[in-house]
Structure 1
Amino acid sequence: MYNTDMPAREELPSSAKLIRSTIVAAFVALVLLVTVVMPAEYAIDPTGAGRLLGLTQMGEIKQQLAEEAAADEAAQLTVVPSATEELSPEPAASAQQAIVAQEIQAEPTGESDAMTAPPAAPAPSLWKDEVRVVLTPGEGTEYKLTMEEGALANFHWVSEGGPINYDTHGDGSGRSISYEKGRGVAEDEGELKAAFTGNHGWFFRNRNSSDITLVLRTSGDYGELKRAK
């Protein structure tokens, strides 16, 4: 198919023209590189023409954006390993091992703990005085508290080996009083309130055919516990 006429030999450019055109093109490309491309892309303006054309400012903005993007990428690369370490099972295993170690240390070790543990302190006595006396068959005894009028004393007594007869009474300042009496009683406790200033307490007698042991305990607001007979 016919498109166009082939050029004549004399119409073709000579080698000198081609070389000259190549040199011109290279020079133009170099000028464009220095005055346009370098200022616009890399903010490099050796001739100053790029700043006059506003291309250097464009290059500076591009370089700033590139630096910020590189900084963000570096920060992400720094954060990712930390997140990976948090997801790693090894720390969890270490935490579990620490918990197990604490439980083992806190767990009692039986005999060694019992040997090293300090002995428990004895509970303080609730009673101020305590007496024990053995009464033979038919024998009696009397214990009194020296008390001011209105003073209160707590007591507890028990007859070991059999019941006993008792009389709770008081005397002093020319006065006497009987609070309570009992026959064949093995144990009693309560509160004794002094009706007046004087001696207040108990008379006990063993009416059994064998010995008994009387244990009397007292506490409260009184001077002393003394045996009258």
Structure 2
Amino acid sequence: MMSDAKTPLASPEGAAPSKRSLLISIGAAAATAIVITFAAVLPAEYNKDPLGLGRLTGLSRLWAPEEVLVAPAAAGVPAAIRQPAAFRSDTFEIPLAADGDEGRRNALEFKVRLPKGASLVYSWQADGLAIPEDLMFDFHGHTVAADAKGGPVSVADYEKSSGASAHGSLTAPVDGIHGWYFRNRSAQPIKVRLKLSGFYQLVPSGEEGNLPGIQPVGATPAAVP
């Protein structure tokens, strides 16, 4: 005998999925897209790795900015130069008498030795100067006359001006001594506090460039190279 129970009919082929199935599929696709974006696209294309997966998988190494080649030398001087002397830093106090001093101690020259291509950074400030224009300075360098052996002396002018302070850097264009001539034109004695850092050497006391015998603050003559 045939049973009266009704057997459920199978869904016909090509029937549209239910709304629940569609929502699950869309959600899964969105989640996958988000994971791919944070784990692969951001590290590889934008150098951003919020999940840390780019670093672990190596994808972050795929990102690189456009490279533009820059000339490593300017005016015939290489950008990177090895120096024979060690880097050093010193502070100097340069006293200048008032204008009209009988011994003309209101003006002096102080320089350091620099080989061609060597650099230094400087900063100086005049203490006790009421009017900045009363301090005149001439920043320059030149080869040493004693080394010229009758030949010409090469001179390089960097800055001639007046003021109470100056800050900057220098890359020596010639082997020689480089520094400042200061002249106090005020009615009061002043002191120039000079800070240097770089690949320079000190000029011994009494020699050209340091006739007054200026020494670093806190140093003794025997300890100064």
TM-score range relative to shorter protein: 0.3 to 0.5
- Provide TM-score, normalisation by structure 2: 0.43
Task: Give the number of the structure whose residues are more often helix, by fraction.
Answer: 1
Q: State the structure with bigger RCO (CA 8 A, min sep 6), 1 or 2.
A: 2
Larger Rg, first or second structure (1 or 2): 1
- Provide TM-score, normalisation by structure 1: 0.42
